[in-house]
Structure 1
Amino acid sequence: MVRMTRRLFLAAGSALAIVLAASPSLAKDSLTLAWSPAPQMPQIDVALAEKLFEKAGLDVTVVTFASGREAFEALTGGQADLATMAELPAVTGALRDQSFKIVADLARYKGSRVIAKASSGIAAPADLAGRRIGVTLGTNTDFLLGKILGAAGVTAEIVNAAPADLVPALLRGDVEAIVPFPNAYPAAARALGDDYREIRSDLYEPHYILAASPAALDTKRDAVTRFLGAVVDADKRVAADPDAAAEAVVATVQGNIDAAAVRALWKDTDIGTRLDRSLLDLMVEEGSWIVGRGVVNADAPSAATLRSFIEPGPLAAVAPTTASIDTAQ
């Protein structure tokens, strides 16, 4: 039997904790997951909804965070065994030589975009020249914007704004375009209506990853492996019944996005647990970008340096063909 309670958890900031306690007869090992829910990686939602962790003999405490950065801080601060995030916080952590290992790449998002008002005349990357563009500096959307402007050979006036402030800033006319996180796309489309314009880009695909603490890999490796087995099982269930999976995501976010919007996001998402060279190559590129901006005082990283922060063993144990991180491209 599973008990679900809610409490406040204090880490880098306050977050809502959902404690899932399985009966002792089923839960032989305990794990704490720092979770930043994102519709693009529905495996955790499905695993929780269908009790896959419990069936794997795990007692999982899930602590939810507003951002992957906060979840990562909980992991490296010793308050969690596992954490989900996009890859950028992990690259920053690697440059700072923080203690963690990436154990899975759950999904890749291919629908990144710039959003503007159609009435602004912005229709292509070149039209961003000299415009005021809102973005949250230091995030993967900032990385994306730099790649878009660089490829177009133009410069723009960058306006830093919190994620929640980007769509309102565009509506007020404080900025002429924004690069928000994907979960803001539906709200932007609804708010702008017929004046909505998007510029899609294939220059960057965020990877949604799962990382583990070295302590968990040392003392709870079998539990981590079984956790990944449940995630791989969830992959199959998402593919077999995407409607049920979308409803699991909607339940997690408590109605902040509807099932139709979730499925729309999935049209641009490669959902499936793996570890391959594409993640490592992206991390190297982002590491050089972070160092170049002076965010971290370090040398630009090599593939060998960042490879040391990836541990494919547990995933290889449950899905051998998906862990090909060392395969040359």
Structure 2
Amino acid sequence: MAGAKFRQFNFRHILVWCACLFVATLMLSLSYFWTKRSPSIPASPLEQVIIATNTEYVGTCSITAAREKGFFAKEGIVVLIQSHSSGKAAMEAVLQGQANLGTVADIPVMFAGLDQRPVSVIATIFKTEKDHGIIGRRDRGILEPANLKGKRVGVTLSTSGHFTLSAFLNRQKLSVKDVTMINYKPEEFADAIERGEVDAVASWEPFLNTMLTRLGSNGVAFYGKDVYESLYNVVGMRSYISSQPETIKKVLRALDQGSQYCNDMPDSARALHESGKKTDTKDQKAAWATYRFEVGLDQGLLLALEDQARWAIKNKLTNKTEIPNYLDYVYLDGMEKIKPAAVTIIH
């Protein structure tokens, strides 16, 4: 009798166990079926940021690297590039609301301050002394810098090229009145000097190299080393920057990674930058070691802006007579949050 009860007890437990196993298997099957049939939950869309910039210019390497190597995407943003041939044009795109951010040299920032435009620099991303200069025609008697006196010089007015020309002439004991300046867009320089419309052109890379290539043995170059240090910056409207502090930090973190890539992987970074470019960049390999790809906010930026404002006022390029406080045109919070050691601006 005890054995019969024991067998009955085991049988009942086996039935219960089988029933539980069946239910569990059924639930797993239904779950798998539902997962296969149900649409997957979409991932959060990447935040879009439009940057007005000149991708032909080597100073944009950190932007190119951040986009192509996935540093922007890692931060949850997708960057759309709006192409311009000068920082002046990129600044205008930002002012007109056509772009969220723009890359500019210090001169457009200086003029924005004089004109009291509500923009701010969020970081300097590139520095060099070897990307500005003057290209001259030998057949017009230009063999040395002093020969620029009395010549027609192409330049994009109110840009870093304009400032470089003024500083360069000053080094030769000349003034802007000793030359005839003719205003061109940067992309028009090569044709203008090749046709002989001008005797020389003051500009920046890659336009300098393009003009030299077009002129061949008839071209001569004077570079602005020790005359002008290019400070390449990222700017935005204050209203956008103040309303999107987290986005600004994401952009800065990605650009910092991009800058490190451009510094640490020069061959790969150069190949990435040169890919698909219209201009001849064969001379960049030798110059790359002189480029400083670094994200920061340096006191030197404020000093440069003040010097340039004095130049603009003296040469009557503005109707303003007082130098603004350029600290008001720098956004410190972003850099101080992501890389405080790179902020040396006194404030």
Please report the TM-score for the alignment, with normalisation by the length of structure 1: 0.83
RMSD: 2.3
Does residue 176 in structure 1 map to residue 195 in structure 2?
no
| Structure-2 separation of matches of 1:243 and 1:259 | 13
Does residue 284 in structure 1 map to residue 302 in structure 2?
no
Native 8 Å contact 2:263 2:292 kept in 1? no
Aligned position for 1:210:
234
Q: How does 1:96-175 map to 2 (within 5 A)?
A: 96-111=115-130, 112-154=132-174, 155-175=178-198
Aligned position for 1:325:
345
> Which residue of 46, 67, 92 corresponds with 1:73?
92
Aligned position for 1:36:
54
Does residue 25 in structure 1 map to residue 43 in structure 2?
yes
Aligned length: 301
Match of 1:92, SS state, is: helix
Structure 1 runs of 4+ aligned residues shifted over 6 Å read none
Aligned position for 1:5:
none
Aligned position for 1:235:
259
Query: Percent identity between the aligned chains?
Result: 22
Could you tell me how far 1:27 is from its partner in structure 2? Answer: 4.7
> Which residue of 64, 70, 89 corresponds with 1:51?
70
Aligned position for 2:18:
none
Does residue 298 in structure 1 map to residue 320 in structure 2?
yes
Greater mean alpha carbon deviation, residues 232-241 or residues 71-80? 71-80
Match of 1:272, SS state, is: coil
Cα distance 1:133–1:267, how it changes in 2: closer, same or farther (>3 A)? Answer: farther
Could you tell me how far 1:259 is from its partner in structure 2? Answer: 5.3
Does residue 89 in structure 1 map to residue 78 in structure 2?
no
Aligned position for 1:6:
none
Question: Larger radius of gyration, structure 1 or 2?
Answer: 2
Alpha-carbon displacement from aligned partner over 1:99-119 (angstroms, at most 9, x marks no partner): 111011111231122111334
Native 8 Å contact 1:105 1:273 kept in 2? yes
Alpha-carbon displacement from aligned partner over 1:109-162 (angstroms, at most 9, x marks no partner): 311221113344433322222222222222221111111112211222323333
Alpha-carbon displacement from aligned partner over 1:81-105 (angstroms, at most 9, x marks no partner): 3211122112111111111110111
Could you tell me how far 1:288 is from its partner in structure 2? Answer: 2.0
Match of 1:260, SS state, is: coil
Native 8 Å contact 1:27 1:54 kept in 2? no
Cα distance 1:140–1:292, how it changes in 2: closer, same or farther (>3 A)? Answer: same
| Unmatched 5+ stretches in structure 2 | 1-40
Cα distance 1:161–1:257, how it changes in 2: closer, same or farther (>3 A)? Answer: closer
Native 8 Å contact 1:100 1:214 kept in 2? yes
> Which residue of 226, 229, 233 corresponds with 2:250?
226
Aligned position for 2:285:
263
| Structure-2 separation of matches of 1:78 and 1:134 | 30
Aligned position for 2:295:
273
Aligned position for 2:331:
311
Give the partner amino acid of 2:169. Answer: L
Give the partner amino acid of 2:184. Answer: A
Aligned position for 1:192:
215
Could you tell me how far 1:183 is from its partner in structure 2? Answer: 1.4
| Structure-1 separation of matches of 2:147 and 2:73 | 52
Give the partner amino acid of 1:90. Answer: V
Native 8 Å contact 1:123 1:199 kept in 2? no
Larger proportion of helix: 2
Match of 2:329, SS state, is: coil
Could you tell me how far 1:28 is from its partner in structure 2? Answer: 5.7
| Structure-1 separation of matches of 2:52 and 2:180 | 35
| Structure-2 separation of matches of 1:194 and 1:323 | 45
Cα distance 1:284–1:250, how it changes in 2: closer, same or farther (>3 A)? Answer: same
Could you tell me how far 1:236 is from its partner in structure 2? Answer: 1.2
Match of 1:199, SS state, is: strand
Match of 1:299, SS state, is: coil
| Structure-2 separation of matches of 1:282 and 1:276 | 10
